[in-house]
């Protein structure tokens, strides 16, 4: 590890990288669950990676001098594998509680001399952050019913063996180390506190694993042993409770050296025997066990491993960071999968918007008989034809049109409410009526799609989206946003039709005979036609209303050979109008619905994670 101070730029960069990775992996852990129909044992790689960061790597960055944190020895094993006995053997006294009761140990317990203090916990906020702490006493157990009903209540104990009712039988194998006794892992009930097993294993500089005839082939034990070896934490395996003449040790060594592909093998010289010893009491049994050559060799091997000091710690730090980098894609796989589901949802919403909203709107309105915007553009062409003496009539028509437009805008919000079945006396007009029907088809299609996804997946996001789409508050919220934005959209369409009118007018001015004829038509406009437009309230812009105005213009344009040009202008106007409505729908409807799937990590987050993992490995690569 580089020779850096806590506040140096390299250390600060590594701390920031560690914190980002930890936050990201915690999100992956929240999503990391085995498939409901899977019978295989789930490998908790993401949870173990989070534990490595929280328990080992982040504390090392808080205290760059490796000697500041004592070495940690973790003893673990399956139910009734004798791990508490092995721990007492290393402590030299019967400090850890021993019981034949399954799952007797539920919480990690640290044993250290008082001189070492509790700095290994107090100085590192990320280490066992949410655990209730007990001093020199065992944390209370939860029975199986309480575990299932209330969940596991994380706790740990810090014990000074000299203060417990445990007579000394031998000096500890190492006086400057902290020895941990942790819960078993092999039963279904023990899976409720598997996270605490992983937290303590991740803290280890040396792991002593106990196994017996009954559990040395345990599948969960093999998976956890693989995680330990993969993170380069030194591992000693104790074949415990061996009877005289037993061939178990040879079988254990053979099986652990011939792990299946993907599982790290355990070298035979790191598998040590420990005999079965019987005595009238636990103290006497431990005393007799300490006298065996096998126990002496185990204590010697542990002491020799710990004697390497900072080199042992550095190897564990580097191994942990390399394991994290090596398996980062697997660790973050739940986030990659969630991002894929988010993109799929975005694609589905966009596709349904085209098929259920925009295509019907184009078919029923833009290409239908009630389309009026091009006729409005033609009326505006007439409004541009200035003829001396008819100014008052032209102004009257213009005022009537503007009045109708304002009346439309004032009632749009109420008209939009009609999209959701709310009573309204306002007439919606042909376009808003088409939008209302399109919206109804769209929202029903979305609900059906979300319900289908909820039935096919265990992702809790889909039922949440189903509930939101059925919520009585969500649709009115969309209505408010759509209503306000629709006014701006109509103002934009009004400007577009005005632009088209000016384009047509400029073309007409280049044809004097046509211009004169159209001015004559304008002179023939009577008050009745103008009154009809105003009386329509500006909402019924059908051919029945504007036909008397635009029919002569269209006839003269046809006679002048301008009909193809008019059709081109009409097509382009429809394209602009569809583009404007698509933008409105995208912003006010599509994006809010797409965002209902809350993606826990972005593409940028996942890309940055690889760089952060590489930075941590580089930080821990150089020895101190």
Cα-based distances in Å from 527 to 382, 532, 548: 15, 9, 12
What is the model's pLDDT at position 30?
87
In this predicted structure, the answer to whether residue 248 has a pLDDT above a threshold of 90 is no
Of residues 399 and 132, more confidently modeled: 132
What is the model's pLDDT at position 141?
83
Angle (CA) 85-91-95 rounded to 5° is: 65
Q: CA neighbours within 13 Å on the CB side: how many for 367?
A: 8
For residue range 28-57, what is the model confidence (pLDDT) as tens digits?
998 876 655 444 556 789 999 999 999 999
Task: Enumerate domains of the chain plus CATH numbers.
Answer: 9-331 (3.40.50.300), 336-597 (no CATH)
In this predicted structure, the answer to whether residue 542 has a pLDDT above a threshold of 60 is no
Which pairs count as long-range contacts for 114-120, CB under 8 Å and 24+ apart, including other chains? 114/160, 114/162, 114/163, 116/70, 116/176, 116/178, 118/158, 119/68, 119/69, 120/69, 120/70, 120/72, 120/178
In this predicted structure, the answer to whether residue 421 has a pLDDT above a threshold of 80 is no
The span from the CA of 566 to the CA of 577, in Å, is 16
**Please, are residues 178 and 72 in contact by the beta-carbon 8 Å criterion?**
yes
DSSP string, 410-426: HHHHHHHHGGGT----S
What is the model's pLDDT at position 394?
45
Burial of 356-388, coded b for 16+ CB within 10 Å and e otherwise, reads: bbbebbbebbbeeebbbbbbbbbbbbbbbbeee
In this predicted structure, the answer to whether residue 560 has a pLDDT above a threshold of 60 is yes
In this predicted structure, the answer to whether residue 403 has a pLDDT above a threshold of 70 is no
C-beta atoms surrounding 598 within 10 Å: 10
What is the model's pLDDT at position 526?
41
Q: How confident is the model at residue 264 (pLDDT cuts 50, 70, 90)?
A: low
The span from the CA of 63 to the CA of 11, in Å, is 10
Which pairs count as long-range contacts for 560-563, CB under 8 Å and 24+ apart, including other chains? 560/511, 560/513, 560/514, 562/507, 562/514
Tokens of 438: 């399109």
Q: How confident is the model at residue 586 (pLDDT cuts 50, 70, 90)?
A: very high
Angle between helix 373-384 and helix 512-523 axes, rounded to 10 deg: 100
Average pLDDT over residues 601-607: 93
Q: How confident is the model at residue 186 (pLDDT cuts 50, 70, 90)?
A: low
Tell me the pairing of strands 109-111 and 177-181: antiparallel
Q: What is the mean pLDDT of the chain?
A: 82
Q: What percent of the chain has pLDDT over 90?
A: 43
Range scoring the smallest mean pLDDT among 196-200, 263-267, 582-586, 616-620:
263-267
What is the model's pLDDT at position 144?
77
Supply the DSSP symbol for 600: S
**Please, are residues 274 and 285 in contact by the beta-carbon 8 Å criterion?**
no
Of residues 469 and 147, more confidently modeled: 469
Range scoring the smallest mean pLDDT among 41-45, 230-234, 296-300:
41-45
**Please, are residues 595 and 349 in contact by the beta-carbon 8 Å criterion?**
no
Q: How confident is the model at residue 297 (pLDDT cuts 50, 70, 90)?
A: very high
Average pLDDT over residues 430-455: 92
Range scoring the smallest mean pLDDT among 19-28, 455-464, 516-525:
516-525
For residue range 352-370, what is the model confidence (pLDDT) as tens digits?
999 999 999 999 999 988 8
In this predicted structure, the answer to whether residue 539 has a pLDDT above a threshold of 60 is no
Grouping H, G, I as helix, E, B as strand and the rest as coil, residue 38 is coil
The span from the CA of 323 to the CA of 364, in Å, is 60
DSSP string, 392-410: HHHHHHHHHHHHHHHHHHH
Tell me the pairing of strands 71-77 and 206-211: parallel
Average pLDDT over residues 435-463: 91
Of residues 310 and 323, more confidently modeled: 323
What is the model's pLDDT at position 286?
93
What is the model's pLDDT at position 39?
46
Supply the DSSP symbol for 165: S
The span from the CA of 484 to the CA of 407, in Å, is 15
Tell me the pairing of strands 235-242 and 271-275: parallel
What is the model's pLDDT at position 415?
47
Helix (H) or strand (E) holding 156: strand 155-159
Tokens of 174: 């190492």
Computed on alpha carbons and rounded to an integer, the radius of gyration of the chain in Å comes to 39
Average pLDDT over residues 162-185: 89
What is the model's pLDDT at position 245?
72
Looking at 424-472, which runs of residues are DSSP E strands?
none
Closest CA to 615 of 9, 63, 200, 51: 9
In this predicted structure, the answer to whether residue 8 has a pLDDT above a threshold of 70 is no
Q: CA neighbours within 13 Å on the CB side: how many for 455?
A: 6
What is the model's pLDDT at position 187?
64
Q: What share of the chain is helix, strand, coil (3-state, %, to 5)?
A: 65, 5, 30
**Please, are residues 185 and 198 in contact by the beta-carbon 8 Å criterion?**
no
Average pLDDT over residues 486-509: 89
In this predicted structure, the answer to whether residue 532 has a pLDDT above a threshold of 50 is no
For residue range 73-128, what is the model confidence (pLDDT) as tens digits?
999 888 888 888 999 999 999 988 754 444 457 889 999 988 888 989 988 999 99
What is the model's pLDDT at position 523?
56
Cα-based torsion angle of the residue sequence 466, 468, 471, 476 in order, rounded to the nearest 10 degrees: -130
Helix ranges restricted to H, 277-390: 282-290, 293-306, 310-326, 328-331, 333-353, 359-361, 373-384
What is the model's pLDDT at position 396?
53
Of residues 313 and 522, more confidently modeled: 313
From the centroid of its chain, how far is CA 169? 53
In this predicted structure, the answer to whether residue 247 has a pLDDT above a threshold of 70 is yes
- 429 conformational bin, left if phi > 0, alpha if psi -120 to 50, beta if neither: left
Angle (CA) 22-23-24 rounded to 5° is: 90
Supply the DSSP symbol for 140: P
């Amino acid at each position: 590890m580089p020779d850096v101070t806590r506040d140096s730029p390299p250390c600060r960069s590594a701390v920031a990288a560690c914190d980002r990775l930890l936050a990201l992996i915690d999100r992956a852990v929240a999503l990391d669950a085995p498939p409901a129909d899977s019978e295989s044992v789930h490998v908790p790689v993401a949870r173990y990676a989070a534990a490595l960061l929280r328990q080992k790597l982040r504390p090392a960055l808080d205290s760059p001098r490796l000697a500041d944190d004592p070495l940690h020895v973790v003893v673990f094993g399956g139910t009734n594998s004798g791990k508490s006995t092995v721990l007492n053997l290393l402590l030299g006294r019967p400090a850890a509680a021993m019981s034949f009761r399954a799952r007797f140990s539920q919480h990690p317990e640290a044993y250290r001399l008082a001189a070492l203090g509790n700095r290994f916990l107090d100085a590192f906020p990320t280490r066992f952050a949410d655990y209730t702490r007990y001093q020199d006493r065992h944390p209370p157990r939860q029975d199986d019913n309480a575990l299932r009903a209330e969940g596991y209540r994380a706790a740990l104990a810090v014990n000074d063996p000299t203060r417990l009712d445990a007579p000394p039988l031998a000096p500890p194998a190492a006086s400057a180390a902290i020895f941990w006794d942790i819960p078993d892992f092999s039963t279904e009930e023990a899976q409720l506190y598997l996270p605490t097993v992983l937290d303590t294993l991740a803290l280890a500089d040396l792991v002593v694993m106990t196994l017996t005839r009954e559990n040395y082939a345990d599948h969960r034990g093999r998976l956890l042993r693989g995680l330990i070896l993969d993170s380069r934490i030194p591992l000693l395996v104790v074949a415990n409770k061996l009877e005289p003449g037993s061939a178990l040790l040879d079988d254990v060594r053979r099986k652990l050296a011939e792990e299946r592909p993907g599982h790290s093998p355990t070298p035979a010289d790191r598998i040590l025997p420990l005999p079965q010893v019987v005595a009238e009491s636990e103290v006497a049994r431990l005393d007799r066990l300490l006298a065996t050559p096998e126990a002496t060799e185990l204590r010697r091997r542990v002491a020799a491993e710990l004697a390497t000091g900072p080199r042992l710690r550095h190897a564990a730090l580097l191994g942990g960071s390399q394991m994290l980098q090596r398996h980062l894609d697997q660790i973050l796989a739940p986030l990659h999968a969630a991002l894929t589901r988010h993109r799929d949802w975005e694609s589905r919403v966009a596709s349904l918007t085209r098929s259920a909203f925009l295509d019907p709107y184009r078919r029923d309105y833009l290409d239908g008989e009630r389309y009026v915007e091009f006729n409005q553009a033609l009326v505006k062409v007439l409004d541009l034809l200035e003829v001396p003496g008819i100014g008052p009539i032209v102004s009257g028509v213009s005022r009537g049109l503007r009045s109708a437009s304002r009346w439309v805008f004032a009632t749009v919000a109420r008209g939009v409410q009609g999209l959701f079945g709310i009573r309204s006396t306002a007439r919606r007009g042909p376009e808003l009526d088409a939008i209302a029907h399109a919206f109804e088809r769209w929202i029903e299609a979305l609900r059906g799609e979300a319900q289908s996804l909820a039935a096919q997946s265990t992702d809790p996001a889909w039922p949440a989206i189903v509930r939101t789409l059925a919520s009585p508050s969500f649709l009115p919220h969309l209505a408010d946003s759509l209503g306000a934005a629709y006014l701006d959209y109509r103002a934009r369409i009004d400007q577009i039709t005005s632009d088209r009118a000016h384009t047509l007018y400029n073309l007409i001015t280049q044809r004097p005979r046509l211009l004169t004829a159209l001015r004559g038509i304008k002179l023939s406009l009577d008050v009745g036609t103008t009154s009809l437009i105003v009386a329509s309230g500006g909402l019924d812009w059908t051919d029945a209303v504007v036909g008397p105005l635009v029919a002569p213009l269209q006839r003269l344009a046809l006679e002048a050979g301008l009909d193809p040009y008019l059709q081109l202008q009409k097509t382009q106007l429809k394209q602009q109008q569809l583009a404007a409505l698509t933008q409105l729908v995208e912003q006010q409807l599509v994006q809010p619905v797409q965002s209902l799937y809350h993606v826990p990590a972005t593409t940028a987050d996942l890309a940055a994670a690889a760089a952060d993992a590489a930075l941590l490995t580089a930080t821990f690569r150089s020895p101190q």
